[in-house]
Structure 1
């Protein structure tokens, strides 16, 4: 008997026979509360069916980690696609984007989506899950994978594969059904004990448990304004004839990327102009424009471009920085880890800010504060400010949509704008490009270019940023009078050149390595595009530099 040792995170050492699977080594049950996947030797994320032949460090991963929650959802979508294909062989399932706490998708070639059809699919999913079917990861020659997807009619997969310089492709197999996914699957359908599927609009919402939710399904709250923005973004993608990464790579290869960049930027300018027009429609009422959005949404560039459009309409925009209204460092609230919580609304002197707004709207003059980040104290800037007849105040920050921030200003006198990078460009029909990934990649580049931070620091701090967004931004997004999608369809083909070396610099022993490797896998699908035709006022310039605005 050839015995090996598994060193489990936490200190346990388990002897096993060479060739045993991780699920046998850990003696796991098919229970969502048990490990779902594992990290081997700190560098490889694997499913539990992987057989071990050498001594190894094994870190079991459950739903307490985002890796586990993502693997669960990924496997659930695989089962959904298999279920739909079993019922409707000529169907096309397209996973579009996240919506609130769910995943929105559509199904083509089955007629109108009805509650009855959704229930039929849901019953088939239950059957597949109940049969506890093994999910295998297999390597096939690229030509064989192309043959499979040609038989399935998956043109998106064929477009993607045409740009991958690989001899072999890893596919997942469940029964007789094959599909291509990036990222790790669970080893069996039997793990998927918690999920929901229901009709939404012309498609469906798929619900799965999230990270650290005590293994309960989150409540779905409708966000119709956000859903409309995604629909508008899809319409733009259709206009530009870029349905997925393969189509974007085609544009790079053909040289059509030049026109794609120019049209994408023109659409941005048109949308910003229409928001300015909407503000102008209520020129006599609106005195304050509040801009809010999550990290790396491009709020600064957007506010400057909006101000230019407002000037064209006769306004005199004046930007007040919320950063200058931070409370002194000693009064800053702390988060659950005992660190300063600068993203809490309690980190701002809301009382003073509202007092200043009241004075301004009553025709008075204020002395503008300035926050000294070196000392951690607020000081008098020495600048005085009074509203003119055509002045409109512009503020941007994460709390802009929270009514508490500007409660001294009547709602009719405010115009609220939500901005985020809501990408609709997915890798293919079944592999989404999460909006959070786009923002994280933007931030990695910007932090390095302008703040001297390495990718490791940005990645390890991202979970804290995301917690702040969930608490302080997303609950208020439907309060917006207008929404702006700051993503440009070509941006990943630009960001890749900047972010790839930063991610590759993270060593295997680093705690950020697994996430860096995942992000490298994502950007590897995109071909690098030339930057020559990106205008200097583009939002992407806020992150890669070389723009015409100071940040």
Structure 2
């Protein structure tokens, strides 16, 4: 049975890794993971000071040909030796990690949707969309605790390269996503939708294998993550699509033009996007 390839992109600290963990937890023993940041180019030809100043958020910072080759080999049922990157020294480690082929292959990283060849190998394309303030805070914690960075270096790198590259390359790649997930693995409803789609894809491929039918290796888009939802649908935490929320807000604004002003509501803890209270009877 051909593997189902899932691409998960999004800004730094958006929740991509958490989403990958959720997939692995719900499909134990069936998922192989290729993190894009394991495929940084090995620049040991440069001294440490120069390596520390490199732009690691540009597409050319990655050994994308190697990532594509490894993905193709896994899809053919072959094991690969994935590189290991040392973020404290900005070097590719001498060690490698053996990755076995699995039913599901997840390719995760900030720019996995930015490369056309890599995208063409994916069956499901995901973009994790998270507020920039949340992302920088998560990056601060991660880089200081796990990568030995100082707060000053993290903030400087964010302002000089991370933020500009996000705006130039990461954010534009969102248009290629079949499913946009706000908050990534923390969005339980969206995780359930994605898991259902993965299981459906696995079931379809198993059925095709039994009947001898051939499925397209990497469809350009999904027919919809749920009935009635188009490709690129954003699923909010309560299951409401982003488009549905926008329509609801527009409808409320139109009503506000003709309706009398309502008295100031008492704070009840209701969410900001709940339907507005009806105006008082005259």
Q: Secondary structure at the match of 2:54?
A: coil
Q: Is the 8 A contact 1:344 1:468 kept in 2?
A: yes
After TM superposition, give the deviation of residue 405 of structure 1 in Å: 5.7
Q: What is the match of residue 108 of structure 2? A: 396
Q: Determine which of 293, 312, 328 is the counterpart of 2:42.
A: 328
2:13 aligned with 1:301, yes or no? no
Long gaps (5+) in structure 1: 1-283, 333-337, 422-434, 490-551
Q: State the distance in 2 between where 1:396 and 1:482 align.
A: 14
Q: Judge conservation of contact 1:400–1:416 (CA < 8 Å) in 2.
A: no
State the Cα deviation string for residues 263-302 of structure 1 (Å, max 9, x = none).
xxxxxxxxxxxxxxxxxxxxx7662111111122122112
Question: Aligned pair in 2 of structure 1 residues 417, 461: CA closer, same or farther (>3 Å)?
Answer: same
Partner SS for 1:340:
coil
Distance 1:355 1:461, change over 3 A: closer
RMSD across aligned C-alpha pairs, in angstroms? 3.1
* Structure 1 residue 454: Cα displacement: 4.7
Contact 2:41 2:61 in 1 (8 A): yes
SS of 2:110's equivalent in the other structure is: coil
- Separation of aligned partners in 1, 2:155 and 2:90: 27
**In 2 relative to 1, CA 339–316 (structure 1 residues): closer, same or farther, beyond 3 Å?**
same
Q: Who is 2:4 aligned against?
A: 287
| TM value normalised by structure 1 | 0.29
CA change 1:461–1:316 in 2 (3 A) is same
Matches within 5 A, 1:121-520: 287-311=4-28, 316-329=30-43, 339-373=53-87, 374=89, 376-377=91-92, 379-381=94-96, 383-388=97-102, 391-404=103-116, 406=118, 409=121, 413-421=122-130, 435-451=131-147, 453-463=149-159, 464-486=161-183
Residues 1:380 and 1:294: Cα distance change in structure 2 (over 3 Å): same
Which runs of 5 or more structure 2 residues have no equivalent in the other structure? 47-51, 188-282
Aligned partners of 1:403 and 1:420: how far apart in 2?
Answer: 19
Q: Is the 8 A contact 1:360 1:366 kept in 2?
A: yes
Q: Residues 462 and 379 from structure 1, CA distance in 2 versus in 1: closer, same or farther, beyond 3 angstroms?
A: same
Q: Distance in 2 between matches of 1:399 and 1:331?
A: 25
Q: Deviations over 1:210-229 (max 9, x none)?
A: xxxxxxxxxxxxxxxxxxxx
Tell me the TM-score normalized by structure 2.
0.54
Q: Aligned with 1:329: secondary structure?
A: coil
CA-CA distance at 1:449 after TM superposition: 4.3
How many angstroms does 1:371 deviate by?
2.9
Aligned counterparts of 1:437 and 1:370: Cα–Cα separation in 2:
29
Number of aligned positions between the proteins: 179
> Are the aligned partners of 2:32 and 2:99 in contact in 1 as well (CA < 8 Å)?
no
Distance 1:318 1:341 in 2: 28
**Is the Cα contact below 8 Å between 1:291 and 1:396 reproduced in 2?**
yes
State whether residues 83 and 92 of structure 2, in contact with CA within 8 Å, keep that contact through their aligned partners in structure 1.
Answer: no
Counterpart for residue 520 of structure 1 = none
Shift of the alpha carbon at 1:439?
2.4
Counterparts of 1:76-95 in structure 2 under 5 Å?
none
User: Distance in 2 between the 1:328 and 1:414 partners?
Assistant: 29
Larger radius of gyration: 1
Work out whether residues 112 and 119 of structure 2, in 8 Å CA contact, stay in contact via their aligned partners in 1: no
Higher relative contact order (CA 8 A, sep 6+): 2
**C-alpha contact (below 8 Å) 2:74/2:80 kept by paired residues:** yes
